Amino acid sequence: MILGHAADASHETSTLLTTITTEIMPMPDSGRGCFGWSSAPEAAGGNCSRSNRNGTLKCYGGMNNLAALNQSGKLSKAQPALEMLLCGWPKDGLNHFRDLQKLPRLRSLTIEYSGFTEFKFDFPEMSELHTINISWTNLSYISSRTFKRVHPLKVLDLRWNQLIQLDGPLLLPRNFEQLYLAGNPWNCTRNFKWMLLQPEKGRLVVDRDELICTDRKYKERQMLLVMHYKLELKKQCQSHEDLRNCTCLMHHILPRTHIPLYTVNCSHLQFHRLPAFLPDNTTTLVINDNMISDINPLRDNPHYRHVVDMQLENNQISNVDNLEDTYWLQNFRLLNLRGNNLRKLHVYALDNALDDNENANLLLLSRNPWHCTCKFGSRMRELLTKYKDIVRDAWNVSCTYRLDDDQLLAKVLTLSRQEMCNLSVEGDTQIHPIDWLNGVLASLIFLILGKLAYDYYYYKYYSRVPWIVMKMP
């Protein structure tokens, strides 16, 4: 049923996907600037050197000789604008940025192949630093204020690190232009909706169409697509009065069609009826611990056509027979009716539905005041025995079976037919009229057989026929 719905909504999804551009930016060349850095002579002492060809300052595993280079005049203001490359930075080596302020002409900073996981201090004010590239590191957390004081900053490249979330949009200078975030293992169960809610911030993320989720829930889905569906779901739930206090979640996105599947939870909200509206693509409704007695919307409300999981535990439902021969009953996956007021149901209808329903996975019926008459109790026991794999609380389904004692409960699967059909107070000590009739019929049969044997004996040995034959004309 879900796949069928996916086909219905494929046009809408394809339209959405076409709005998300697919200009794939080339992957950085695995830290080309720091390739083979550990074999450089400076790596042994954690030192830096400045190239005479392009003026790039390269530091390998530290910058212990930076002060000496500065004193030699190689890093003075009179020198051309400086580009700095930090390779193989130690795990805790980027906790202090005071040394960067000794480089007044620093224009571009690149950090690659480093083991640090976070910046414990924010970047200091730098008068000419307009490009920062931090790639191929273990950076997994970054504060929104980390780059706030770098006022000339225009380009920030954070690709190919270990970032899983951003608590919010980064605080960046007014003239900032480009932010790159692709290649990180983003967890899309976190809040990235600011990319859509704050378009002026979202547009700064140049590669936002390439951000891919790696969490278990949305693995290999585009982040923008996930955030779009989350916003649409929130809008639909808040727009309808029935659902304003409910919790609406997206629990899955179908792989091929990219159709979202939603869960709506309205438990503990004193609902007297099922919601008249559900968001499109809702497949699960959890509405436990309310006061619902009518489940007719499952039969005739189109918003429930794709709901396959219904959690109705601890309500006041006393009748489910109106679901007989419905599309919903023949296609549901989970139905939880524990803790309601059910005394009887049409067993044959439920049996047929479960027999035809390949999706049925779980049906819960315990903690209802079932009453086992001879006919219903026997059929109910057969149903529970037949569908134990689906009715997983079958051994907990109890019922009353004595007309004179509605407090006497017994598990349906343990009751014999004799117990369910013998409803009198005296039990086996009373002889029923049907037993009297059976005794009379049995006596007559024996009498006739005895008379037949007697007549046969006298005819064979004495050649005398029964007197009644002699009287017949």
Tens of pLDDT, residues 243-287: 999 999 999 999 889 999 999 999 999 999 999 999 999 999 999
What digits encode the pLDDT tens for the residues 102-146? Answer: 787 889 999 999 888 888 888 888 889 999 999 999 999 999 999
In the predicted model, what is the mean pLDDT of residues 38-52?
A: 85
Binned at pLDDT 50, 70 and 90, residue 11 comes out as very low
Confidence at residue 429, expressed as pLDDT on a 0 to 100 scale? 54
Confidence at residue 18, expressed as pLDDT on a 0 to 100 scale? 39
pTM of the model: 0.74
Round the average pLDDT of the chain to a whole number and report it: 85
Confidence at residue 179, expressed as pLDDT on a 0 to 100 scale? 94
pLDDT above 60 (res 13): no
Confidence at residue 43, expressed as pLDDT on a 0 to 100 scale? 86
Q: Which residue has the higher pLDDT, 226 or 429?
A: 226
Are 319 and 346 in contact, with CB atoms under 8 Å apart?
A: no
What digits encode the pLDDT tens for the residues 206-215? Answer: 999 999 999 9
Binned at pLDDT 50, 70 and 90, residue 92 comes out as low
Q: What percent of the chain has pLDDT over 90?
A: 55
In the predicted model, what is the mean pLDDT of residues 29-57?
A: 77
Long-range own/partner contacts, residues 189-198 (CB < 8 A, 24 or more apart): 189/215, 189/217, 189/218, 190/164, 190/165, 192/165, 192/166, 192/223, 192/226, 192/227, 193/227, 193/230, 193/231, 194/168, 194/169, 195/223, 195/224, 195/227, 196/224, 196/227, 196/228, 196/231, 197/231, 198/169
Confidence at residue 337, expressed as pLDDT on a 0 to 100 scale? 97
Confidence at residue 5, expressed as pLDDT on a 0 to 100 scale? 45
Q: Which residue has the higher pLDDT, 92 or 219?
A: 219
In the predicted model, what is the mean pLDDT of residues 308-312?
A: 98
Cα 145 from chain centroid (whole Å): 34
Binned at pLDDT 50, 70 and 90, residue 406 comes out as low
All domains in the chain, ordered by first residue: 38-185 (3.80.10.10), 243-420 (3.80.10.10)
